[in-house]
């Protein structure tokens, strides 16, 4: 995907504050953090979102990286939340599969519909 901003980050074509990287995934700081810790974790290969027929082994590698990133960010013990906004109702804005890793404070309970 030539015009995908997260593909460009994955290929180090535009700058990002990289937290963790291996052959398959990369984690970097969200540009507009919503919580004290707000890191994005993505597969390097482009998928639009979770509905994009993703290779199961890659999904496993992506989820396996979540606690690794949490440990590197110092929130593994205190806890955190992961979110994967998917499609229009999920309010996805960047269509390259990503997991938000949110923490560093006690998060609100509410996950209800938008106003």
Return contacts of 18-21, CB within 8 angstroms, 24+ apart: 19/69, 19/72, 19/73, 20/65, 20/68, 20/69, 20/72
CB 6, min distance to ligand AMP, A = 7
CB 104, min distance to ligand AMP, A = 15
Span near ligand AMP by CB under 6 A; candidates 50-58, 70-78, 92-100, 103-111: 92-100
Residue 98 designated active-site: yes
85 binds, among Zn ion, ligand AMP, none (CB under 5 to 8 A by kind): ligand AMP
State the CB neighbour count (10 A cutoff) for residue 10.
23
Decide if residue 44 touches Zn ion (CB under 5 A): no
- Catalytic residue annotation: 98
């Amino acid at each position: 995907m030539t015009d995908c901003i997260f593909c460009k980050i994955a290929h180090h074509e535009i700058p990002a504050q990289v937290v963790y990287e291996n052959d398959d995934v990369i984690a970097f700081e969200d540009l507009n953090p919503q919580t004290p810790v707000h890191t994005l974790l993505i597969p390097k290969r482009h998928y639009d979102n979770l509905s994009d027929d993703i290779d199961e082994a890659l999904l496993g590698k992506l989820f396996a990286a979540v606690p690794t990133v949490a440990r590197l960010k110092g929130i593994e013990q205190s806890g955190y939340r992961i979110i994967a906004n998917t499609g229009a109702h999920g309010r996805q804005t960047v269509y390259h599969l990503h997991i938000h890793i949110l923490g560093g404070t006690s998060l609100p309970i509410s996950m209800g519909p938008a106003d």
